[in-house]
Structure 1
């Protein structure tokens, strides 16, 4: 194992060790106000970004920005080419940048949040940032590893990116393949059986690659669940009907956390340890965002936060 991977793995474990963890997140969730929660965050790695947050939306975005910074720091410690391992795992930030542009009223930049700065973790953000219209964004996606989303409506663009991210992760980051297939399951189930939207053809092809053609062609939620391969069916074990997908989403995060911890425990200094660390850093940020939401609602006992974690 190269010295670069050893250094990267050591750095990854150090970043994880500083996370508030589930106990810290529960403390933050108790509030009883958002200001109380932010004061508790002052002793965590999220402090630098959340210090100036004025409301819940900005505080949660600051937590996400902290996660991205940690991924960029980690990428900098990896050997030459190692950062490519993290690019698919950071794809959600590029998707968020595009989604923010598409949902800004009138397309004006003044109302949009500052885009996440991806550095070496970008896929095609510089090209996407230059696009001025949804059609231009579709063209930039088509010419990049993201691929053609199949249409240029805001929904199609973002959905195409999300399914593409799952496909790219499954192909390029083998230890994360299980999570990628689970994410594809949740995305397809929500779009088709909750929002009753037909997936664009390129998105359907990606879903078939990940979940099998029979599952991708299912016309009912029950058929969809029954046709999923064993490598993906776990994602819906806690959701007997589409209205329970929020439980499946929480289970997905818990699975990523437990799998990530197992990868970290392997003790080898290599890519699997780094992927495990990224999983745990991501889950911690998810928990902290949920905890901030709980605190903003008054930190009541029995809050949805407890159901999630």
Structure 2
């Protein structure tokens, strides 16, 4: 392990030690109001972006913005390969910016955007587009690839699959997460929304999930036709109304895998990816706690779900 990975390991440890964890998250969830919960968050590392008086939507955006800032900090301490991995994982934030830009192109009011800095892939160019046709052209000329359509839903589906394919290719450690996520996305699109992935974006779907799943007409059959590395994401879920359970399974595995890697000695690419995953898990728990507080505080069973 060279000096850059060693320095990155020290920085990653510092970031992970600043997570709220279950106890502090439960304290937030017990708050009787959103204002009280936000006031608690201001005094934590999430105070980087969380401010008193924010709405629920603004506070949740601030939680995610803090995670992105931590990824930017970590990337600055890692060698080139590690920084590349952080840029790939930060694709979630670029997708969020892209989807808001799409909504703006369709007439919606713009919302706050994430500041990607050096972790941007194509966002500065995407932000300058003024039509969905221009947006597609910029995507096609970037690592995101051609979504195969100018229709917003199709673009959103395509960029998510593109992101999963690039993460799976770049990080053997994160491959199972990426492939499992692609399975959930495809299942929701096909069996809830009732739509198929547009060409040429379908190539990413086949690359990640194989060709056999395309002939499945039920969610149960779809799960059986998935490759073994993706099948876990839908284990025990055969009804589209239960896909929320599959999403919880995905986050549970992410947390479990990343926690196990953190305990391994040394620091390298897998540790850096696990750091990013654990930061995302903590922010998601805080988001859920905020939503509970906004409803007047949580019952014990809801707190148990945050553990």
**TM-score, normalised via structure 1 length:** 0.95
**What RMSD over aligned residues (CA atoms) do the two structures have, in Å?**
1.6
In 2 relative to 1, CA 231–10 (structure 1 residues): closer, same or farther, beyond 3 Å?
same
Segment drifting more, 151-160 vs 236-245: 236-245
C-alpha distance in 2 between matches for 1:98 and 1:107: 14
C-alpha distance in 1 between matches for 2:121 and 2:53: 28
Q: For residue 74 of structure 1, what is the aligned residue in structure 2?
A: 74
In 2 relative to 1, CA 305–158 (structure 1 residues): closer, same or farther, beyond 3 Å?
farther
Shift of 1:42: 2.6
**TM-score, normalised via structure 2 length:** 0.95
Unmatched runs of 5 consecutive residues or more in structure 2 = none
Report the number of matched residues: 307
C-alpha distance in 2 between matches for 1:284 and 1:276: 12
Q: For residue 85 of structure 1, what is the aligned residue in structure 2?
A: 85
In 2 relative to 1, CA 225–81 (structure 1 residues): closer, same or farther, beyond 3 Å?
closer
Shift of 1:53: 4.8
Q: For residue 40 of structure 1, what is the aligned residue in structure 2?
A: 40
Contact 1:238 1:244 in 2 (8 A): no
Q: C-alpha offsets along residues 22-80 of structure 1, whole Å, 9 cap, x if unaligned?
A: 22222211121111111221332101211245210000000000000000000011123
Q: For residue 235 of structure 2, what is the aligned residue in structure 1?
A: 237
Contact 1:250 1:308 in 2 (8 A): no
Contact 2:49 2:65 in 1 (8 A): yes
Segment drifting more, 90-99 vs 49-58: 49-58
Segments ≥4 residues shifted beyond 6 Å: none
Shift of 1:294: 1.0
Q: For residue 102 of structure 1, what is the aligned residue in structure 2?
A: 102
C-alpha distance in 2 between matches for 1:214 and 1:164: 19
Q: How does 1:5-84 map to 2 (within 5 A)?
A: 5-84=5-84
- Aligned match for 1:288, one of 286, 289, 292: 286
- Aligned match for 1:142, one of 128, 133, 140: 140
C-alpha distance in 2 between matches for 1:144 and 1:76: 23
Q: For residue 228 of structure 1, what is the aligned residue in structure 2?
A: 226
Contact 2:22 2:306 in 1 (8 A): no
C-alpha distance in 1 between matches for 2:56 and 2:201: 33
